[in-house]
C-alpha cells in the first residue's frame, strides 16, 4: 500500500514529495500541488464507474454466469451477465462517462479500431450471408452470438471510459486478489469435489435465479480426467481466467518494492498456476510457458535469475496443492491416443468445403452453435472457428484485435517510467495468454474467456496511452513542476 502524501510546511525550501507509482505526463505527480489528482484513484476514488466495473469483474470470478439464469421470461437469454452488461450501460448514462478519453491518443485509437474492425466484419459476414443463413434457419443463432459479441464490446468500451491511468495499479491488485481467491476454491474443489461458486450462488441467487448444478467430477470412471470447473461450466474457461491474471502477479514478483510484496505475488502466481493445473487441461501448462517466454523477452536478466528455482518450487507446490494434476496433464501416451487429439487432427479437413465456398467473409458469424454438436462440428481451435464463420478477413481482424494491445504496449513497456512499463507488460501478457488459448480451444464459446480478454485489452490500451489519455489532466502549473520519477515501481 502506498504511503499517504504529506505536505511541506509553508516555509519549507525542499522540493515537494512525489507520489510513487502515479506518473503524470512526464512520470510523476507532485502531491502537495494537487492532492485530489493523487487521491482520486481506484480503490480510493468516489467515482462510481470504476466500482461498477469492479463489481462486474468480481461477478465473473465468483458467479457461474453461464449457468445462472434469472427467473424471467424473455425472448433472449436471461443469463445474469446480460443484465449486468445492461446495468453498466445504464450506469454510464446516469453517471456520465467519467474522465477517460476513449480516443484520447493515437495508441488508444489503434486499440479501439482493431476491436471495431472485427465486429464490423462479423456483421458484414451476417449481412452478405443473410439469404443462406435465413434459408438454413440459422438467423437466431447469428443474432444471439452477435449480441453476445456486442456485450464484449460494451465491456471494452466501458473499461476504457471508466478507468484512468492512475486507477490501473489498484485495479490490477483487484484482479490478483480475485484470481487468488478463485484459485484457492478451485484447489479445494480438486481435492474435495465441493464447488464453492455454484453452492453460494445457488444460496444467494436462488430466489431470483436458477443455477444449474456444476459438472465437477473428481473421481471419473473409464480413465477420464477429473473435471474441475471453478466458476464456469468448463475447466478450460476457468483455466483461461487464471492464465490471463497470472502475468499481473508475475510482473510484481520482479518489480515489487518490498520483499513482502514479491513473496505475496509469488504465492498468488503459484496458487493460480496450481488451480489451472487442477483442471487437468494441457492449456494450464502451455499458456504459462508462453507467458514466461513473453515476460523474459522484456525482463531477461530477472527471469534467468529466478526461473530455475521458481520452476522447481512451483511444480513442488502444485504437486502438494493439486496431487495428480501434473501426471494427468503430462501423459504423452494417453494424449496421443485421446479423443481430443484424434478430433483435432480432422478439424480443418472437416471445415474445408465451407472455407473454400466462403473464403473471404465466411459463412456468417454465429451461424455455428457449440450447443448443437449433432448439427455443427465443435473445433478445438478458435482461429478455425473464426475462419469458418468470418473468413480470411475475419481471421486477420480477430488476430489483429488480440495483438493490437500487445503492439501498442511495446513502447510503454520500454518506457523509463517503471510503473508504466510494469502495468503495460502485465496487461499485455494477459492478451498474449488469450492469443495462445485461442489455438487450444474454442475460447469464444465460454463468456468468461472473452470478457477477460476485453478487460485486459482495455487495461493494456490505457497503460500504453499513459496519463496523456486522461481527459482531465493535471493543471498547467502542476504539469510544469512534474519531474522524472524515482527508479522504483509498485504495479
- The pLDDT tens digits of the residues spanning 438-488 come to 999 889 989 999 999 999 999 999 998 877 766 544 444 334 434 444 444
Beta-bridge partners for 3: none
Is the distance from CB of 463 to CB of 284 less than 8 angstroms?
no
Compute the average pLDDT of residues 39-65.
Answer: 92
Instruction: Give the contacts of 490 (CB within 8 A, at least 6 positions apart).
Output: 2, 20, 21, 169, 252, 255, 256, 257, 261, 419
Is 370 part of a structural domain of the chain?
A: yes
Q: How far apart are CA 317 and CA 311, in angstroms?
A: 10
Q: How far apart are CA 22 and CA 29, in angstroms?
A: 6
Helix axes 48-62, 80-95, angle to 10 degrees: 170
How much is the pLDDT for 326?
64
For the ranges 124-138, 168-182, 326-340, the maximum mean pLDDT occurs at 168-182
Compute the average pLDDT of residues 359-377.
Answer: 75
Higher-pLDDT residue of 294 and 40 is 294
Average pLDDT, the chain: 80
Q: How many domains does the chain have?
A: 1
Question: pTM of the prediction?
Answer: 0.83
Compute the average pLDDT of residues 366-391.
Answer: 78
How much is the pLDDT for 327?
59
Q: How many CB atoms lie within 10 A of CB 455?
A: 26
Is 23 part of a structural domain of the chain?
A: no
Is 90 part of a structural domain of the chain?
A: yes
Is the distance from CB of 101 to CB of 165 less than 8 angstroms?
no
How much is the pLDDT for 241?
96
How much is the pLDDT for 340?
54
Is 170 part of a structural domain of the chain?
A: yes
Residue-number span of the structural domain to which 251 is assigned? 35-474
pLDDT digits 0-9 by tens, 209-237: 999 999 999 888 766 788 999 999 999 99
Higher-pLDDT residue of 15 and 462 is 462
pLDDT digits 0-9 by tens, 25-50: 333 333 343 445 456 889 998 889 99
Residue where the block lists cell 504496449: 409
How much is the pLDDT for 484?
43
Is 339 part of a structural domain of the chain?
A: yes
Q: What is the pairing mode between strands 209-211 and 68-70?
A: antiparallel
Is 27 part of a structural domain of the chain?
A: no
Is 13 part of a structural domain of the chain?
A: no
Compute the average pLDDT of residues 269-293.
Answer: 90
How much is the pLDDT for 281?
86
Beta strands in 239-335 (DSSP E): none
Higher-pLDDT residue of 344 and 176 is 176
What percent of the chain has a predicted confidence (pLDDT) above 90? 45
Is 111 part of a structural domain of the chain?
A: yes
**In terms of Cα–Cα distance, which of 454, 447, 287 is closest to 370?**
447
Amino acid at each position: 500500500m502506498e504511503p499517504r502524501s504529506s505536505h511541506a510546511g509553508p516555509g519549507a525550501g525542499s522540493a515537494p514529495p512525489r507520489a510513487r507509482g502515479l506518473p503524470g505526463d512526464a512520470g510523476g505527480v507532485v502531491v502537495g500541488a494537487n492532492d485530489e489528482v493523487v487521491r482520486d484513484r481506484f480503490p480510493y476514488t468516489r467515482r462510481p464507474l470504476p466500482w461498477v466495473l469492479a463489481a462486474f469483474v468480481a461477478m465473473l470470478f465468483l458467479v457461474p454466469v453461464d449457468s445462472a439464469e434469472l427467473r424471467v421470461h424473455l425472448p433472449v437469454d436471461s443469463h445474469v451477465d446480460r443484465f449486468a452488461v445492461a446495468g453498466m450501460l445504464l450506469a454510464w448514462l446516469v453517471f456520465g462517462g467519467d474522465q477517460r478519453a476513449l480516443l484520447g491518443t493515437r495508441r488508444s485509437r489503434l486499440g479501439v479500431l482493431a476491436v471495431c474492425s472485427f465486429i464490423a466484419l462479423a456483421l458484414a459476414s451476417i449481412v452478405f450471408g443473410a439469404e443462406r443463413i435465413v434459408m438454413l434457419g440459422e438467423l437466431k443463432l447469428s443474432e444471439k452470438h452477435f449480441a453476445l459479441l456486442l456485450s464484449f464490446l460494451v465491456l471494452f468500451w466501458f473499461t476504457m471510459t471508466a478507468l484512468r491511468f492512475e486507477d490501473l495499479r489498484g485495479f490490477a491488485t483487484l484482479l490478483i486478489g480475485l484470481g487468488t481467491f478463485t484459485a484457492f476454491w478451485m484447489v479445494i474443489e480438486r481435492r474435495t469435489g465441493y464447488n464453492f461458486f455454484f453452492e453460494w450462488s445457488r444460496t444467494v441467487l436462488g430466489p431470483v435465479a436458477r443455477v444449474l448444478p456444476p459438472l465437477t467430477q473428481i473421481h471419473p470412471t473409464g480413465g477420464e480426467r477429473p473435471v474441475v470447473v471453478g466458476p464456469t461450466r468448463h475447466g478450460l474457461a476457468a483455466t483461461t481466467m487464471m492464465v490471463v491474471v497470472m502475468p499481473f502477479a508475475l510482473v510484481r514478483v520482479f518489480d515489487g518494492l518490498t520483499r513482502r510484496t514479491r513473496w505475496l505475488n509469488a504465492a498468488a502466481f503459484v496458487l493460480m498456476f496450481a488451480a489451472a493445473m487442477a483442471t487437468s487441461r494441457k492449456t494450464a501448462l502451455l499458456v504459462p510457458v508462453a507467458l514466461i517466454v513473453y515476460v523474459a523477452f522484456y525482463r531477461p536478466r530477472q527471469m534467468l535469475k529466478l526461473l530455475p528455482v521458481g520452476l522447481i518450487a512451483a511444480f513442488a507446490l502444485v504437486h502438494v496443492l493439486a496431487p495428480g494434476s501434473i501426471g494427468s496433464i503430462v501423459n504423452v501416451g494417453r494424449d496421443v491416443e485421446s479423443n481430443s487429439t484424434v478430433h483435432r487432427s480432422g478439424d480443418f479437413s472437416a471445415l474445408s468445403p465451407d472455407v473454400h465456398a466462403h473464403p473471404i467473409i465466411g459463412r456468417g458469424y454465429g451461424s455455428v452453435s457449440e450447443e448443437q454438436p449433432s448439427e455443427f462440428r465443435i473445433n478445438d481451435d478458435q482461429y478455425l472457428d473464426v475462419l469458418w464463420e468470418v473468413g480470411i478477413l475475419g481471421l486477420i481482424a480477430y488476430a489483429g484485435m488480440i495483438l493490437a494491445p500487445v503492439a501498442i504496449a511495446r513502447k510503454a513497456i520500454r518506457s523509463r517510467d517503471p510503473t508504466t512499463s510494469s502495468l503495460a507488460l502485465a496487461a499485455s501478457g494477459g492478451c498474449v495468454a488469450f492469443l495462445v488459448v485461442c489455438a487450444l480451444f474454442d475460447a469464444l464459446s465460454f463468456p468468461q474467456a472473452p470478457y477477460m480478454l476485453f478487460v485486459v485489452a482495455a487495461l493494456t490500451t490505457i497503460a500504453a496511452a499513459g496519463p496523456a489519455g486522461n481527459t482531465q489532466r493535471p493543471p498547467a502549473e502542476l504539469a510544469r513542476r512534474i519531474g522524472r520519477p524515482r527508479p522504483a515501481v509498485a504495479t
